[in-house]
Amino acid sequence: MQRAQGLGNETCGILWTMTRGALLVAIGAIAALVGPGIATCRAASAQAPSPDPPGSASAIFAGGCFWCMEPPFDEQAGVLSTTSGYTGGSLANPTYEQVSAGGSGHVEAVRVVYDPQRIGYAELLEVFWRNIDPLDGGGQFCDRGESYRSAIFVRSAEERRLAEASMQAIAERLGHAVATRIRDAAPFYAAEDYHQDYYRKNPIRYRFYRGGCGRDARLRKLWGEGAGH
């Protein structure tokens, strides 16, 4: 687990067991120790994203905390952008508070805009699988509940075919039924600005959350050297 200066093993042990919400409260309370750059959260309705640039395509994946799903896609050659947001529910323009409270039907997800001439949908699926726990149907890592469940949102018959084939391969590799769902794409609403590129804007807080949630440890256990990060 990544630790900030001045935090002992006992504090880190407490952080390890916390959900994201509790971690953010705890880390905010010790902001003086971890330095500047901590985002201030503000309530605002989510917005529909801009259309895809000409010649590009987009894919939507839900893998628990959307902060943690941006980096593995951002580092792929051919990925043009990632956007954290909400999808799968019936509530238009939801806020983070509404989604995290449950009952909206939405999950946290990332919209990946990519150049299909440089990276294919099948490759994006591989990135997705290696950054989630596909055996967990109740959330992801320390984040529990409907808004953190994993899913692949498909826009076409071809995407569904590729997603189903990849899911079968993952089930065979892990020797267990996969809990991740394949769902028809639904309206995607970009999350509030403070959630976008969170790992870049607030690297210390992000590392605390990611380590405290047990994400990397579980990914290594599932995927070994091929685990996401």
Q: Which residues are part of the catalytic machinery?
A: 65
Q: At what angle do helices 215-223 and 203-212 cross, to 10 degrees?
A: 60
Residue 178 CB neighbours (<10 A) = 19
Q: At what angle do helices 20-29 and 203-212 cross, to 10 degrees?
A: 130
* 45 touches 145 (CB < 8 A): no
CA 32 to chain centre: 27
Q: Give the integer Cα–Cα distance in Å for 70 and 64.
A: 11
Q: Give the integer Cα–Cα distance in Å for 51 and 76.
A: 21
Q: Give the integer Cα–Cα distance in Å for 53 and 67.
A: 23
Q: Which two tokens stand for residue 51?
A: 């259309």
